[in-house]
Amino acid sequence: VVDMDELDQRHRVVVIGAGFGGLFATKALKRADVDVTLINGTTHHLFQPLLYQVATGILSEGEIAVPIREILGKQRNARVLLGWVDHVDVAARTVTATAPGLSYTVEYDTLIVAAGASQSYFGNDKFAEFAPGMKSIDDALELRGRIFNAFEMAELETDPAAIERWLTFVVVGAGATGVEMAGQIAELAHRTLPGQYRRINPKQARVILLDALDRVLPAFGDHLSTQGLRQLHRIGVEVELETKVVDVDATGIEVDTKSGHRRIESMTKMWAAGVAAPGLSRQIAEAAGAETDRAGRIKVEPDCTVPGHPEIFAVGDMMALDQLPGVAQVAIQSGRYAARQVKRRLAHEGPDKPFHYFDKGSMATISRFSAVASIGKFRFAGLLAWFLWLGVHLLYLVGFKNRLTTVLHWTVSFIGRGRSERVATVQQIFARTALKETGDTGGPAPSGPPKRLS
Ligand SMILES: Cc1cc2nc3c(=O)[nH]c(=O)nc-3n(C[C@H](O)[C@H](O)[C@H](O)COP(=O)(O)OP(=O)(O)OC[C@H]3O[C@@H](n4cnc5c(N)ncnc54)[C@H](O)[C@@H]3O)c2cc1C
């Protein structure tokens, strides 16, 4: 246990990541006698569960990505720093991060690591160029551009094969994200866009949802999986199960099925098939002598600390504990739990009970007025599940203004047929090119040794 008496200054907590785990940990330390430094690679807290609605033109990015500074503006013991943490020195207790053009180091007494998960292509990272994943606002806007552009290109084509290629959308992965994405593209094609084109009929678009497993929404159990499949069929999504993707290129996707190898011609593919912990997870585990699981998540003690390092907590998607799923509630609850441990130690209270996850249930939408929800012993499918989904997502969306405009946009899209957010900018394309030139930080490479930020 950390000896707080050794300290002659306020206890310094560094939090890496302002997702659900990091943000809720920071907020839970509001009244604690500590200085919190929250480091995040972007300036916003992202509500990932609604990314697919940004990608399909229902919501704007601002509605699901709130400035971290605004959220924590009134929390006097917290400061927010922009930067991608690339190294943690567990012996020196320092964190080194990189922002455009500079790098800096911050010291900690307690470290809470909540850097989430990245997309996994199961070793085939080259697929990413042709089938973007959906983890960030950049990903969602990239997909939005590709989806709406596909209809535009189809309108310009004269060759029937080319039109079909543009109007075929393939979503890989039939978990909640893939199902939601496929459902919304189908709604877009069948409800929103018809009547807006003169040569093509958007209703002819094919939406194909692939998965290597034999069911959709496997985490929801047999009953809801069957219901989900039925609802997907009803809205015209073609579901192909036990279908393994073996290659992806600019114009199509190659799959292995029980009946053999096949190619699907499609210009617009998206990947919602797997997650892995970011590289930082392995770096910390190696430095701390801890183990990681197959997805690279740090195997933590029952109190969410890294073995042998009670001063380092790993929470949310980055921790491997009791086979807990990578969902928002696990991140929120483990983030709050870590904050509580810090407060207990400062108050010289004994160790708390191990982290216990309270499962509040899970839900996924299929299309408007249609969802599946599993809460305790209860299973819901259809309209009731959809209303539950609506309420829960509004509740956890951070920020009052966002909730208001989100309700407005949902009214436009679900009661009406519109999509208010169909813009894809040229700037996005330039930004992507710049990122390729300059690396992940989006700025010039840091020069000189890291600055020390006290
Ligand atoms: C498309 C999608 C849909 C989802 N839908 C649902 C759903 O419906 N219900 C549900 O419960 N869960 C859902 N999830 C899962 C849920 O979003 C995650 O479990 C949750 O966000 C995990 O929280 P976290 O704090 O661990 O990580 P995250 O929320 O991912 O936050 C990690 C943060 O760390 C930052 N970061 C990463 N690396 C670094 C670094 N090296 N340095 C500095 N900052 C860094 C990132 O910018 C990010 O802000 C969904 C996820 C996705 C991607």
**Nearest atom within ligand 1 for CA of residue 330:** 19
Q: Which atom of ligand 1 is nearest to the CA of 116?
A: 27
**pLDDT of 393 above 60:** yes
CA of 296 relative to ligand 1 center, distance in Å: 15
Going by pLDDT thresholds of 50, 70 and 90, the confidence category of residue 8 is low
pLDDT-based confidence at residue 283 (cuts at 50, 70, 90): very high
**Tell me, what's the pLDDT at 42?**
95
d(CA 195, CA 247): 35
Q: Which residues contact 19 (CB under 8 A, 6 or more apart)?
A: 45, 46, 48, 114, 115, 116, 316, 317, 331
Residue nearest to atom 12 of ligand 1 (CA): 327
Give percent above pLDDT 90 in the chain: 80
* CA–CA dist 339, 359 (Å, integer): 20
CA of 293 to the centre of ligand 1 (A): 18
Atom number in ligand 1 closest to CA 40: 44
Q: Which of 129-143, 286-300, 362-376, 424-438 is predicted least confidently?
A: 424-438
Nearest CA to ligand 1 atom 15: 327
- Hey, whose CA ends up nearest to atom 31 of ligand 1? 19
Question: pLDDT-derived band of residue 10, with 50, 70 and 90 as boundaries?
Answer: very high
Q: Are 65 and 45 in contact (CB under 8 A)?
A: yes
Position 436 scores a pLDDT of: 62
Say how far apart CA 313 and CA 355 lie, in whole Å: 12
Ligand 1 centroid from CA 205, angstroms: 31
218 vs 425 pLDDT, higher one: 218
Q: Is 180 a catalytic residue?
A: yes
Complete DSSP assignment for 11-24: EEEEEE--SHHHHH
Closest Cα to atom 6 of ligand 1: 49
CA torsion through residues 232, 238, 242, 245, sign:
negative
Q: What separation in Å is there between the alpha carbon of 115 and the centre of ligand 1? A: 8
The pLDDT-based confidence of 438 (bands split at 50, 70, 90) is low
The helix (run of H) or strand (run of E) holding residue 209 is strand 206-210
Q: Which two tokens stand for residue 308?
A: 């042998």
Per-residue pLDDT, 217: 96
Q: Which residue's alpha carbon is nearest to atom 20 within ligand 1?
A: 328
Q: What is the mean pLDDT of residues 231-254?
A: 96
Ligand 1 centroid–CA 375 distance in Å is 22
In the predicted structure, residue 430 carries a pLDDT above the cut 90 = no
Q: Residues 285, 84: contact at Cβ < 8 Å?
A: no
For the residues 78-99, what does the mean pLDDT come to? 97
Q: How far is the CA of 70 from the centre of ligand 1 (A)?
A: 19
**Residue in 354, 298, 346, 291 with CA at minimum distance from that of residue 1:** 346
Q: Which of 96, 327, 395 to mutate to test the pocket of ligand 1 (most atoms within 8 A of CB)?
A: 327
CA 39 to ligand 1: nearest atom: 43
3-state secondary structure 72-140: HCCCCCEEEEECEEEEEECCCCEEEEEECCEEEEEECCEEEECCCCEECCCCCHHHHHCCCCCCCHHHH
Q: What is the pLDDT at residue 451?
A: 78
The Cα–Cα gap between 204 and 200 comes to 8
**β strands within 309-354, DSSP E:** 309-314, 319-320
Helix (H, G, I), strand (E, B) or coil at 275: strand
CA 264–ligand 1 middle distance (angstroms): 31
CA distance 432 to 136: 13
How far, in Å, CA of 427 to CA of 421, rounded? 16
- Express as a percent the part of the chain with pLDDT over 70: 93
Rounded to the nearest angstrom, the distance between the alpha carbon of 328 and the centre of ligand 1 is: 7
Pocket mutation for ligand 1, best pick of 15, 40, 45, 48 (most atoms within 8 Å of C-beta): 48
Pocket around ligand 1: residues whose beta carbon is below 6 Å from it? 16-22, 39-42, 46, 48-49, 51, 84-85, 114-116, 134-135, 176-177, 278, 280, 316-318, 326-329, 331
Residue 65 has pLDDT above 90, yes or no: yes
pLDDT, tens digit, 9 for 90 and up, residues 299-328: 999 999 999 999 999 999 999 999 999 999
Averaged pLDDT, 96-114? 95
The mean predicted confidence, pLDDT, of the chain is 92
User: What would the pLDDT profile of 184-198 be if each residue is shown by its tens digit?
Assistant: 999 999 999 999 999
pLDDT of residue 46: 96
Q: State the distance from the centre of ligand 1 to the C-alpha of 136, rounded, in angstroms.
A: 9
Q: Report the distance separating Cα 190 and Cα 186, nearest Å.
A: 6
7 — pLDDT class (breaks 50, 70, 90): very low
What tokens does 394 get? 């509004």
Q: What is residue 1's predicted lDDT score, i.e. its pLDDT?
A: 41
- Residue nearest to ligand 1 atom 7, measured at CA: 49
- pLDDT band per the 50, 70, 90 thresholds, residue 3: very low
Instruction: Tell me the C-alpha to C-alpha distance, in Å, between residue 326 and each of 85, 107, 230, 447.
Output: 21, 29, 26, 37
Q: What is the pLDDT of residue 432?
A: 62
Residue 334 in this model has a pLDDT that exceeds 80: yes
Cα angle 285-289-295, degrees, rounded to a multiple of 5: 35
In whole angstroms, what is the distance from residue 362 CA to residue 59 CA? Answer: 22
In the chain, the N- to C-terminal Cα span, in Å, equals 24
Range 213-218 average pLDDT: 96
Question: Of the ranges 102-106, 231-235, 414-418, which one carries the lowest mean pLDDT score?
Answer: 414-418
Report the atom number in ligand 1 closest to the C-alpha of 86. Answer: 41
CA-CA distance, 433 to 363, in Å (whole number)? Answer: 37
Token pair for 73: 């503006």
Instruction: Given the residues 70, 107, 157, 180, select the one marked as catalytic.
Output: 180
**Checking DSSP bridges between strand 102-107 and strand 451-453, what pairing results, if any?**
parallel
| Residue 312 to residue 321: CA distance in whole angstroms | 15
Please answer whether residues 297 and 318 qualify as being in contact, where contact means their C-beta atoms are separated by less than 8 angstroms. yes
Atom of ligand 1 nearest to the CA of 45: 49
Average pLDDT over residues 144-167: 95
Specify the ligand 1 atom closest to the Cα of 316: 26
